[in-house]
Structure 1
Amino acid sequence: MTAALALGDDALVLSHRLGEWAGHAPVLEEEVALANIALDLLGQARTLLSLAGDEDELAYLREERAFRNVQLVEQPNGDFAHTIARQLYFSTYQQLLYAELAAGEGPFAPLAAKAVKETAYHRDHAEHWTLRLGDGTEESHRRMQTALDALWRYTGELFEPVEGVDADWPALRDTWQARITAIVEQATLTLPTGPQAGSWAAGAGRQGVHTEPFGRMLAEMQHLHRSHPGATW
């Protein structure tokens, strides 16, 4: 099922990226928060991938070109501001999408009804840190603005229609942009304008074309399973 792979891969890859903060987060409380978000996403990924086949095989034995996640979620953590910008863009999109799916009667409605509560927390967490960093010190403001600018180019792909996902994609994009704009302005930050705004274009992650960091991340994620094929506890 194409849709289950696309949504499942989004959650799986971002879960792994957030898990990379274990032992490295700026404060202990934030390490726990990021780990909890990663676990929420992993739970979503397991449910979605199981709709498409064997979840372990899909996660650990597919090649890079077989993954259907958007390029945004595979971007490296960078500094903490980059992680927050990535989370702000994605969790706002995911919460809006799942709210729409939960209100319908499609195959993803049961999952969405549960996940929408999780994604609302993920969005609130990202918004809180966006405000804290943007309206904080001169240095935190600069870093948060740099992160928003750097990741903006990957957001267009979020609104490319996914076969099998019954959503009003143009309306979703408009609502997302309004919400992102509001929180960014509240944080005394700005979204890219001028030449940078022109880079707001869809990537090709849904078609299996990924950015260079994804290959390295995938090798790390799949290493243990591939090193010991068929192993059981």
Structure 2
Amino acid sequence: MLNANVVLLGLAVGVAQVNGHFNLNYPTTLGFNDDTEGTGPCGGFEPSLVKTTDFHIGGDFIAVKTTHPKSNWYFRATTNATAGGGWVNILPEIEQTGLGAYCEQNLKLPDSFAGQKGFVQAVQHAADGDLFQCAPVNFVTGVAASIPSACTNATGLTATVVGGAASSGASTTGSSPSSTGGSEASSTSGSEASSTSGSDASKTSSAAAETSTGAASAIGGEVFGAFGAAAMSLAALFAMVL
């Protein structure tokens, strides 16, 4: 008879395929709570600028780790002290495929950010909805002097600007990105970054987390496929037990 632990393992794997979250590893996150990460603008944490990390407007990094095999990303920034609006898109919408570490490099912001404090925000739109994290930062001039240790890319993970352009920020070799490299997505940031309107940052799902029909369909298919695969696996396991 199959050990009950194997059945429980199958259940855990099935759930993990469907329910996942992400970690913001750089800049330093305001906080992470698995239960409240779906609450904007900062994953359920009260925006605070008491402790900040320097973010270089001439070129810096955002590093995350995802448990979703496919999702869409929105990386934004604001100098609003309460994260209550004034968001500027650092990159266009990014579609990521693959699990694990993901880092975008050479990210730029308008000169007007220099000398101010604010937040860098990562929004992930995936199978379980919209997820949020914020990093309180001090926007400084210049380019980051080195690549942070958190900036790595999982083997096989890819990132593409919605619309088709490749983002070289996501390596397919599992190595760290080069210090001189930049993504196709990064070339649209800085002074060309577009602002998102609305003072209520908690409504990001309608402003910053809107996907194209194609991307939404792909995510929907992923959810169905994950549930289907999990259900089939569990059915097979229970059949063996019984």
What's the TM-score once normalised by structure 1's chain length? Answer: 0.26
| Rg larger in structure | 2
What's the TM-score once normalised by structure 2's chain length? Answer: 0.25
Instruction: Please identify which structure carries the higher helix content.
Output: 1
Instruction: Please identify which structure carries the higher strand content.
Output: 2
